[in-house]
């Protein structure tokens, strides 16, 4: 493919720029522009045009990304042309200039299936990559494979890739390394395995520890028992020692008790009682005397008091008189005030009566309206406003409801819209057809996609018929036939390979025999049978001559010239023959082996011959099979590839046909769906008209029609619904109106009833009934106040009358009492008379009180006297009882008797205490027996001895207990121990780490090996043709400094060498320089030569692409620039070549070298076409 | 009233496949099987269970360490102190011929004989129970043992214990095969089975239950693991529950990375996924395989830098999660076609070489002579592992390695272009 014109509409800072690249006989296009003028942008524009914009383009800075456009006219090597425009977008980004979509497959076909990678890395080269390639070549020390690989452009520094892969693999494992990950993991696993083995609890360990624990426990038990027994004995002896004194005391005590056996055993408390009783008796006798004297003194005082006064009999009446005096004094003081208050009340009644319209009302309130009347009027007045407001509200509601009813009646009277149910039914029935458009589009899209895929696959098909239709009609042999051919050819190939393998084997065998023969011969004297035969012949000749000359003396010429004197010669020949014979005898075995080898060699040579013949036959057979294979395709116009590839080809062909069939099916489905859609649309349209609806103008799709119809149906349904709702609302309004009428009637009736009640209630007032109820309170309030004032006046009058009555009663009572107690009744005030009576009563009352007090004192004295006498009797009886207990009649000897009893009691208590003390130590009887039987003299020594023995036993027991505990702990630790399980888990985890390292090693090594093999394979396939082309280009590029390239076998495989041109007259071998011996400039030229060769080779096999050299030659001198231009022009014979440069000199040199075969394009001129640029934007 | 069933304890067996990377929660997995057994014992005591049934594979095989048996004995003593009896039948792993060492078990432990099916009767809290069981005399018991079980005991709750692969279970070795119908035909009120590591209640006329194994041991044993608890009322099993008892949960994080734009984003997506799984792990630590999926431009980089990516995921994921392995199951966005014969560029040659090796797996061993040497020094468990790291004779293994090599080479050979970009 070559570009005829590049059209940059909007890209980077370019707009509306055209770069014409056609031109008959043009071998090189030079695009000249200064740095930053956009040469690299042009390269990217071509790349984006051919292979699409990347998701993030750096060239959307002047125009929005969605406005970026690059177009071109191009021509395929077979003359097919194409004009396209590429825009930035997600899909369908390729169009014709008039914006019709262009299938990517069409462009892909123009490019021969090349990818962006192929274009950018093989067909584009700049100075930087050139230099990098040159440096890599030097670093690769001339390795041919690497050099070719890198120069192919698609691969970076392959040596570096290989080195990194191998280095990474080595960090994981190499057989000799110890610090790589794999050996480290292996060592760790080994260490863990050892640790695990150590940590494992074995049966023997468990049994040993278990046995040890049992034995230690038994020993500890025995020691404990012995210790316990010794401690018991020590305790016994210590008890004896503690109890000796107690037992002795006990014995003394029991002796004392025996002596006092006849003495009664009394409690100590009885002595105390006796002492207390005697003391109490003495104090009682003294007290009795005192009491009796007091009684006599009191009796004397009583006798000296006067008799009882008669006034005391009227004391109650006199007390009542005292109270009356107090009341009357208060009434006399209150009387004037009450009279004033009564007068004020009468005045107030008069004033209020005038206000209430009752001018003739009396002060006692006679003629005042009853309280019930006032209350009734108040209630009615309160109801008045409610009744009035209810009536007014009823009036308003009635008016409003009547108006509302009229409005609704008008609304309900409108006509009913038509029923849209039939149309809705049709919509439902066509619902499934609603997405027919989508389905149609989908089917069409599927058909289109399928056809596109078929087209793309077709373009990729190799070999390929002229057209897609031809693919269907091409007469491909039947599958069986294909399979048969494939089998036959495969068998033939297999046979050829087998025959060749046998041939190789036979050759190897022959070579091995030769080696064996050489080795056998190397270790043996050169004494072949031939030599022996010749030596013997010489000896026989010598003997014959000697016999003739010496023995038989016959003259004649010697049979052969043997040289030297005859005897010597004979001797020599005899010796020689003998020595050869001897040597053969000595080396008989080796010689036999050599003979054997020779026979084997003969056999092997025959086998090689046979195998060669076999190979030839098999190859013939294979050729015949291939011919038959080619014949099978005769008539199809297709030159078949090998059967396996053709089988895949046929599969692909079937797949393409299947895709085409699928596309046809999809298209038919789309047509059928379109018909269904049209029918459904007609139905909908008809029913819309029937309903009086207006269908949309034109021929809208079913979906649009359905939407319109659905909208109309919804609107009709809403209107029908609104009509029904209006009827319901009218009925509701009618009911509401009736309710309002009833409410209004009720309000009128209530208002009338109130008026009647009001008139009746106000009549008793005798006033005008037209009084406003809201003003009624101005009358009713004073009436209520009058009623209160009247009540208050009545109370005051009653109080004044009561005070007068009290004064009269007090005077008459005072006078009557004065007469009764014998006082003269003077004409003085009753209050003075009352004071005299009260003084007389007070005097008589005090005398009577003294009499009563003395009587009470006397009674108390006499009672104490009686009680003291009874206590004396009790004490005397108790003392008599004690004497009886002490067995004596003499009360004065009670103390001595008591001492004997106390002694016995003390001894008894002491004995009990001692026995208790012994019991605290154990059985008292046993202890007494132990003490009595003990050898008290040796007791201390025995205790001390036992103490020592126990200390020793305790130490032993402690040691044994510790041992037992340790053994038990050991067992428990075994039971609790996680044992080796954790270590086993750690080991497993390490194995996981090892596995991971090994997996990484394998993947790196496989990748490295694949790359190495590919490298070698690439070299084998491409070395000769590439080096051959590159050799010419290199000689040209170096302007004859080097005559060619050569490959020599070096230590590490074939090496690429640059063969320096011989100086004139130099007859020696030309110098063959390895990459390391080249200057960097020459290395760059060598890399360029290889790259040009790779491009030529690619173009020879596939559709050519334009080669873009981007500022490639700035470091070249003029000669080499000329040479490079010539090389690029040479490439221009194969494919289109664009050279970007910012050096005008390069353009001049190109013009000078190539003349009309070069076209110079100045970017500045091209950009001047850009209207935006022209405007100076 | 409860009966607890735990099978396939595999006491002290290792958790498989975990790669010991720095920072891995190694402490969380130590003694996992013991801790899980401890959880079951605790559950039995808390539930006041009347019996613990262990239908086989209590041990993983012959004890590497006597402590394994001692630990079980100690746990049984703990059970015994709570008045709970334990019934054990040996399975294929701990068959009598497989385990050379035995202990005298505590009195509350009853081990069923291997020469016949036997019945153990006892009464507790008014319930009379008959436990029927039989141990494996040797691992390869392929005859039907169910038919040898005795008739049910009248008036008792009859529960059978058996280590078996039920018929129709193609995933497990066919040990002591039998059918659910045969088990039902014995007339017991229920069956406690061992051998299948997935908890399961078999559809049948009476409860037939696999409690599953006690603790997941590798990435194929995901989800909660534990025991089964039978609830017994009126001499009937009225309910079966499967409470978890494991101490470490296994799971696989399937992560779609098609939306990721770089490896950091991939790591973040994976870590988020792991975090989500951890949240659903009942508070247990998690051993998790991360499986990256989706069609992505990052496919080659993911494959080539998988180890680095795994470390990144491990660093980003929560500390309680052990990232067992990171698998690249992603797909490239490129279409991988066969390079045409006329392609002369180097990449086409690489692709042809990859395909050549794919079609001739034996070439791998030829190209990598060191492979055999490395295989020789590996531990036997890796050497003999059917999924081991070196299997040049396995076409699938070779296929996978070639796919990896394709990604590695595609990425690395394009490195220069990336650097330029």
Average pLDDT over residues A24-28: 86
Poorest-pLDDT segment among A633-637, A677-681, A1108-1112? A633-637
User: Tokens 């009446």 identify what position?
Assistant: A317
Predicted complex ipTM: 0.89
Q: Which of B34, B336, B343, B350 best tests the A interface by mutation, with the highest count of A CBs <10 A?
A: B350
Asked if B326 is an interface residue toward chain A (Cβ–Cβ < 8 A), one would say: no
Residues in chain B within 8 Å Cβ distance of A154: 345-347, 413
**Can you give the residue ranges of every domain in chain B?**
2-241, 248-333, 340-421
Q: Which two tokens stand for residue A909?
A: 């208590």
Chain B: nearest CA to A14, how far in angstroms? Answer: 22
Q: Which one is predicted more confidently, A824 or B13?
A: B13
- Domain B2-241: CATH superfamily is Metallo-dependent phosphatases (3.60.21.10)
User: Tokens 């891995």 identify what position?
Assistant: B24
User: Tokens 């309206």 identify what position?
Assistant: A369
Task: Tell me the Cα Rg of chain A.
Answer: 76
B378–A1101 C-beta distance less than 8 A: no
Determine the pLDDT at residue A1175.
Answer: 35
Q: Which one is predicted more confidently, B404 or A719?
A: B404
Residues 6 or more apart in contact with residue A146 via CB below 8 angstroms: A136, A140, A158, A159, A1015
**Percent of the residues in chain A that have a pLDDT greater than 70, as a whole number:** 94
**Tens digit of each residue's pLDDT (9 = 90 or more) over A134-146:** 887 777 666 777 7
A975–B74 C-beta distance less than 8 A: yes
Residues 6 or more apart in contact with residue A1103 via CB below 8 angstroms: A1, A76, A77, A110, A111, A112, A113, A114
Asked if B333 is an interface residue toward chain A (Cβ–Cβ < 8 A), one would say: no
A1009–B367 C-beta distance less than 8 A: yes
Q: Which of B345, B368, B380, B417 best tests the A interface by mutation, with the highest count of A CBs <10 A?
A: B345
Determine the pLDDT at residue B168.
Answer: 64
Average pLDDT over residues A587-615: 83
Distance CA A594, CA A517 (A): 6
Q: How far does chain B reach from its first CA to its final CA, in angstroms?
A: 73
Distance CA A344, CA A475 (A): 149
The chain-wide mean pLDDT, for chain B, equals: 90
Do you find a cis peptide bond into A463, omega within 30 degrees of 0?
yes
pLDDT band of A382, cuts 50, 70, 90 = confident
pLDDT band of A384, cuts 50, 70, 90 = confident
pLDDT band of B338, cuts 50, 70, 90 = low
Nearest to B344 among A976, A978, A1022 (CB): A1022
A121–B30 C-beta distance less than 8 A: no
**Alpha-helix runs per DSSP H in B318-379:** 346-359, 362-367, 370-377
Determine the pLDDT at residue A568.
Answer: 76
Chain A: nearest CA to B306, how far in angstroms? Answer: 9
B17–A998 C-beta distance less than 8 A: no
Average pLDDT over residues A470-486: 80
**Tens digit of each residue's pLDDT (9 = 90 or more) over B307-328:** 999 999 999 999 899 999 999 9
Could you tell me how far CA B56 lies from the centroid of its own chain? 16
Residues B275/B254, Cβ–Cβ less than 8 Å:
no
Residues B132/B53, Cβ–Cβ less than 8 Å:
no
Q: What does residue B325 show for φ and ψ, rounded to 5 degrees? A: -165, 150
Nearest to B344 among A648, A1006, A1098 (CB): A1098
Pairing, β A81-87 against β A69-75: antiparallel
**Tens digit of each residue's pLDDT (9 = 90 or more) over A55-105:** 778 888 888 888 899 999 999 988 899 999 999 988 889 999 988 899 988
Report which listed range, A118-132, A541-555, A921-935, B244-258, is most confident. B244-258
Asked if B37 is an interface residue toward chain A (Cβ–Cβ < 8 A), one would say: no
Poorest-pLDDT segment among A268-272, A699-703, A732-736, B404-408? A268-272
Determine the pLDDT at residue A1174.
Answer: 37
Distances (CA, A) of B306 to A668, B267, B291, B398: 50, 11, 11, 18
Pairing, β B109-111 against β B85-89: parallel
Q: Which of B30, B66, B371, B380 best tests the A interface by mutation, with the highest count of A CBs <10 A?
A: B66
**Among chain A residues, CA nearest to B410:** A155
3-state secondary structure of B87: strand
Could you tell me how far CA A428 lies from the centroid of its own chain? 48
**Among chain B residues, CA nearest to A1022:** B344
Average pLDDT over residues A594-610: 86
Nearest to A1007 among B24, B373, B409 (CB): B409
Average pLDDT over residues A634-638: 78
Average pLDDT over residues A184-200: 90
Q: Which of residues 335-354 of B touch A (CB under 8 A)?
A: 337-338, 340-347, 349-350, 352-354
Distances (CA, A) of B298 to A785, B311, B417: 108, 17, 15
**Tens digit of each residue's pLDDT (9 = 90 or more) over A1136-1159:** 999 999 888 888 999 988 888 999
Determine the pLDDT at residue A266.
Answer: 67
A609: left (phi over 0), alpha (psi -120 to 50) or beta: alpha
Q: Which of B10, B11, B20 best tests the A interface by mutation, with the highest count of A CBs <10 A?
A: B20
Chain A: nearest CA to B379, how far in angstroms? Answer: 8
Distance CA A253, CA A260 (A): 11
Q: How many CB atoms sit inside 10 A of residue B355's CB?
A: 15
Determine the pLDDT at residue B420.
Answer: 44
Residues in chain A within 8 Å Cβ distance of B353: 1010, 1013-1014, 1017
CA-based nearest residue to A382, from A745, A776, A767? A776
Q: How far does chain A reach from its first CA to its final CA, in angstroms?
A: 35
3-state secondary structure of A682: helix
Determine the pLDDT at residue A808.
Answer: 80
**Tens digit of each residue's pLDDT (9 = 90 or more) over B133-181:** 999 999 989 899 999 999 999 999 999 999 998 876 666 668 898 999 9
Nearest to A975 among B71, B357, B370 (CB): B71
**Among chain A residues, CA nearest to B33:** A981
**Tens digit of each residue's pLDDT (9 = 90 or more) over A1059-1085:** 888 877 777 777 888 777 888 888 888
Residues A133/A123, Cβ–Cβ less than 8 Å:
no
pLDDT band of A46, cuts 50, 70, 90 = very high
Residues 6 or more apart in contact with residue A769 via CB below 8 angstroms: A758, A759, A762, A763
Determine the pLDDT at residue B342.
Answer: 63
Determine the pLDDT at residue B336.
Answer: 55
Q: What stretches of A627-757 adopt beta strand conformation (E)?
A: none
Nearest to A982 among B30, B338, B412 (CB): B30
pLDDT band of A553, cuts 50, 70, 90 = low
Could you tell me how far CA B344 lies from the centroid of its own chain? 50
Nearest to B353 among A980, A993, A1017 (CB): A1017
Chain B: nearest CA to A1000, how far in angstroms? Answer: 8
Distance CA A811, CA A321 (A): 10
Average pLDDT over residues A842-856: 80
Q: Is the pLDDT of residue A769 over 60?
A: no
Distance CA B206, CA B212 (A): 18
Sequence length of chain A is 1177
Q: What does residue A549 show for φ and ψ, rounded to 5 degrees? A: -80, -35
**Among chain A residues, CA nearest to B70:** A975
Residues A844/A312, Cβ–Cβ less than 8 Å:
yes
**Tens digit of each residue's pLDDT (9 = 90 or more) over A887-901:** 667 777 777 777 777
Chain B: nearest CA to A1148, how far in angstroms? Answer: 32
């Amino acid at each position: 493919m070559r570009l005829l014109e590049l059209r940059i509409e909007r890209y980077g800072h370019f707009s509306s720029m055209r770069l014409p690249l056609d031109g008959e006989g043009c071998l090189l296009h030079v695009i000249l522009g200064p740095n930053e003028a956009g040469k690299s942008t042009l390269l990217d524009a071509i790349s984006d045009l051919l292979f699409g914009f990347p998701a993030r383009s750096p060239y959307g800075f002047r125009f929005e990304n969605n406005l970026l456009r690059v177009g071109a006219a191009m021509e395929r090597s077979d003359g097919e042309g194409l004009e396209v425009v590429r825009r930035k977008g997600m899909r369908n980004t390729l169009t014709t200039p008039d914006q019709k979509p262009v299938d990517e497959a069409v462009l892909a076909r123009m490019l021969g299936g090349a990818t962006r990678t192929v274009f950018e890395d093989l067909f584009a080269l700049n100075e930087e990559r050139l230099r990098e390639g040159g440096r890599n070549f030097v670093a690769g020390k001339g390795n041919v494979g690497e050099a070719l690989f890198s120069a192919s452009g698609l691969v970076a520094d392959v040596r570096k890739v290989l080195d990194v892969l191998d280095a990474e693999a080595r960090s994981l494992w190499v057989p000799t390394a110890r610090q790589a990950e794999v050996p480290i993991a292996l060592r760790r696993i080994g260490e863990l395995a050892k640790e695990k083995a150590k940590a494992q609890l074995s049966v023997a360990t468990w049994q040993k520890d278990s046995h040890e624990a049992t034995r230690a426990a038994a020993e500890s038990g025995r020691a404990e028992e012995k210790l316990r027994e010794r401690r018991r004995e020590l305790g016994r002896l210590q008890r004896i020692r503690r109890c000796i004194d107690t037992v002795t005391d006990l014995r003394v005590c029991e002796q004392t008790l025996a002596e006092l056996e006849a003495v009664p055993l009394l409690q100590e408390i009885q002595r105390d009682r006796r002492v207390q009783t005697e003391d109490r008796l003495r104090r009682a006798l003294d007290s009795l005397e005192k009491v009796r004297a007091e009684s006599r003194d009191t009796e004397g005082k009583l006798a000296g008091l006067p008799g009882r006064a008669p006034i005391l009999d009227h004391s109650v009446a006199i007390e009542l008189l005292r109270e009356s005096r107090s009341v009357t004094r208060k009434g006399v003081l209150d009387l004037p005030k009450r009279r004033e208050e009564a007068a004020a009340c009468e005045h107030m009644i008069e004033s209020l009566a005038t206000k209430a319209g009752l001018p003739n009302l009396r002060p006692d309130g006679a003629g005042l309206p009853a309280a019930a009347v006032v209350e009734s009027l108040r209630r009615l007045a309160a109801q008045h406003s409610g009744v009035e407001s209810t009536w007014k509200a009823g009036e308003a509601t009635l008016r409003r409801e009547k108006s509302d009813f009229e409005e609704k009646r008008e609304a309900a009277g409108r006509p009913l819209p038509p029923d849209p149910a039939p149309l809705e039914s049709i919509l439902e029935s066509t619902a499934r057809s609603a997405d027919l458009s989508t389905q149609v589009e989908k089917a069409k899209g599927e058909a289109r996609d399928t056809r596109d895929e078929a087209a793309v696959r077709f373009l990729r098909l190799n070999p390929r018929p002229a057209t897609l239709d031809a693919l269907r009609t091409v007469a491909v042999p039947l599958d069986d036939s294909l399979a048969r051919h494939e089998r036959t050819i495969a068998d033939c190939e297999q046979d050829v390979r087998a025959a060749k393998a046998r041939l190789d084997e036979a050759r190897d065998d022959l070579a091995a025999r030769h080696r064996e023969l050489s080795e056998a011969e190397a270790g043996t004297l050169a004494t072949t049978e031939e030599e022996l035969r010749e030596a013997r012949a010489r000896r026989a000749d010598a003997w014959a001559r000697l016999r003739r000359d010496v023995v038989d003396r016959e003259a004649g010429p010697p049979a052969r010239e043997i040289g030297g004197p005859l005897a010597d010669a004979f001797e020599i020949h005899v010796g020689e023959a003998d020595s050869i014979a001897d040597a053969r005898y000595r080396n008989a075995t080796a010689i036999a082996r050599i003979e054997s080898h020779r026979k084997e060699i003969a056999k092997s040579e025959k086998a090689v011959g046979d195998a060669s013949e076999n190979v030839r036959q098999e190859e013939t057979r294979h050729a015949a099979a291939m011919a038959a294979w080619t014949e099978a395709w005769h008539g199809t116009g297709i030159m078949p590839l090998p059967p396996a590839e053709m089988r895949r080809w046929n599969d692909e062909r079937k797949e393409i046909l299947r895709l085409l069939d699928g596309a046809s099916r999809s298209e038919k489905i789309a047509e059928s769906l379109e018909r269904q859609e049209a029918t459904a649309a007609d139905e909908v349209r008809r029913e819309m008209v029937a309903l009086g609806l207006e269908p949309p103008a034109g021929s809208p799709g079913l979906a649009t029609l359905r939407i319109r119809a659905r909208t109309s149906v919804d609107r009709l349904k809403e209107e029908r619904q609104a009509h029904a709702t209006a009827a319901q609302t009218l009925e509701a309004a009618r009911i509401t109106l009736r309710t309002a009428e009833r409410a209004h009637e009720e309000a009128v009736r209530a208002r009338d009833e109130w008026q009647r009640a009001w008139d009746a209630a106000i009549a008793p007032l005798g006033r005008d009934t037209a009084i406003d109820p809201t003003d009624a309170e101005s009358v009713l309030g004073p009436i209520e106040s009058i009623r209160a004032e009247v009540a208050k006046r009545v109370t005051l009058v009653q109080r004044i009358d009561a005070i007068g009555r009290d004064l009269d009663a007090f005077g008459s009572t005072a006078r009557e009492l004065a007469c009764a107690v014998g006082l003269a009744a003077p004409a003085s005030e009753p209050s003075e008379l009352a004071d005299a009576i009260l003084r007389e009563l007070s005097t008589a009352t005090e005398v009577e009180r003294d009499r009563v007090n003395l009587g009470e004192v006397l009674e108390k004295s006499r009672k104490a006297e009686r009680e003291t006498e009874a206590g004396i009797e009790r004490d005397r009886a108790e003392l008599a009882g004690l004497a009886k207990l002490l067995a004596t009649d003499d009360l004065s000897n009670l103390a001595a008797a008591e001492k004997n009893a106390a002694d016995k009691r003390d001894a008894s208590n002491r004995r009990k205490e001692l026995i208790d003390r012994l019991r605290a130590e154990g059985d008292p009887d046993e202890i007494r027996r132990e003490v009595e039987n003990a050898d008290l003299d040796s007791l201390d020594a025995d205790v001390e001895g036992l103490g020592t023995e126990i200390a020793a036993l305790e130490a032993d027991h402690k040691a044994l207990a510790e041992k037992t505990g340790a053994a038990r702990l050991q067992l428990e630790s075994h039971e609790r121990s996680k044992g080796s399980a954790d270590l086993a888990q750690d080991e497993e985890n390490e194995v996981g780490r090892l596995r991971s390292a090994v997996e990484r090693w394998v993947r790196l090594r496989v990748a490295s090996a694949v790359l190495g093999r590919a490298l070698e394979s690439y070299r084998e396939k491409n070395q000769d043709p590439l080096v051959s082309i590159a050799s010419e280009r290199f000689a040209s590029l170096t302007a004859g400094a080097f005559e060619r390239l050569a490959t020599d076998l070096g230590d590490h495989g074939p090496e690429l060498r640059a063969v320096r041109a011989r100086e004139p007259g130099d007859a020696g071998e030309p110098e063959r320089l390895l990459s390391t011996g080249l200057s960097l400039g020459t290395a760059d030229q060598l890399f360029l030569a290889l790259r040009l060769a790779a491009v030529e080779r690619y173009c020879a096999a596939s559709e050519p692409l334009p080669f873009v050299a981007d500022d490639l030659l700035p470091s070249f001198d003029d000669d080499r620039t000329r040479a490079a231009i010539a090389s690029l022009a040479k490439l221009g014979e194969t494919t289109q070549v664009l050279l970007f440069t910012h050096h005008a000199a390069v353009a001049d040199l190109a013009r000078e070298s190539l003349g009309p075969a070069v076209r110079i394009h100045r970017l500045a001129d091209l950009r001047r076409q850009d209207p935006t640029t022209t405007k100076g934007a | 009233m409860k009966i607890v069933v735990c099978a396939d304890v595999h006491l002290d067996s290792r958790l498989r496949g975990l790669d010991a990377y720095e920072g891995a929660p190694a402490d969380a997995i130590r003694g996992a099987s013991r801790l899980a057994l401890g959880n079951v014992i605790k559950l039995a005591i808390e539930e006041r269970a009347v019996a613990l049934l262990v239908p086989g594979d209590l041990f993983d095989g012959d004890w590497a360490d006597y402590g394994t048996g001692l630990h079980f004995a100690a746990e049984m003593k703990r059970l015994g102190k709570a008045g709970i009896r334990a019934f054990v039948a040996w399975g294929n792993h701990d068959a009598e011929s497989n385990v050379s060492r035995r202990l005298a078990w505590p009195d509350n432990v009853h081990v069923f004989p291997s020469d016949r099916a036997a019945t153990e009767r006892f009464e507790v809290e008014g319930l009379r129970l008959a436990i029927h069981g039989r141990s494996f005399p040797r691992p390869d018991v392929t005859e039907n043992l169910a038919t040898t079980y005795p008739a049910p005991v009248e008036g008792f709750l009859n529960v059978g214990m058996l280590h078996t692969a039920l018929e129709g279970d193609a995933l497990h070795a066919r040990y002591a095969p039998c059918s659910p119908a045969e088990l039902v035909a014995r007339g017991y009120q229920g069956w406690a089975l061992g051998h299948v590591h997935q908890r399961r209640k078999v559809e049948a006329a009476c409860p037939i239950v696999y409690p599953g194994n006690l603790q997941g041991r590798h990435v194929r044993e995901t989800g909660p693991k534990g025991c089964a608890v039978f609830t017994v009322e009126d001499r009937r099993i009225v309910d079966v529950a499967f409470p978890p008892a494991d101490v470490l949960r296994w799971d696989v994080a399937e992560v779609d990375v098609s939306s990721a734009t770089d490896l950091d984003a991939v790591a973040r997506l994976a870590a988020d996924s792991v975090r989500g799984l951890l949240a659903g792990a009942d508070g247990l630590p998690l051993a998790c395989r991360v499986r990256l999926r989706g069609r992505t431009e990052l496919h080659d980089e993911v494959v080539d830098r998988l180890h680095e990516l795994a470390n990144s995921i491990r660093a980003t994921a929560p500390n309680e999660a052990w990232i067992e392995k990171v698998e690249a199951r992603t797909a490239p966005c490129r279409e991988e076609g066969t390079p045409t014969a006329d392609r002369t560029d180097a990449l086409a040659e690489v692709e042809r070489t990859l395909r050549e090796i794919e079609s001739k797996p034996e070439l791998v061993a030829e190209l990598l002579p060191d492979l055999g040497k490395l295989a020789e020094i590996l531990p036997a468990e890796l050497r003999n592992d059917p999924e081991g790291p070196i299997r040049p004779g396995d076409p699938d293994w070779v296929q996978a390695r070639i796919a990896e090599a394709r990604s590695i080479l595609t990425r690395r050979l394009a490195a220069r272009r990336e650097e330029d970009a």
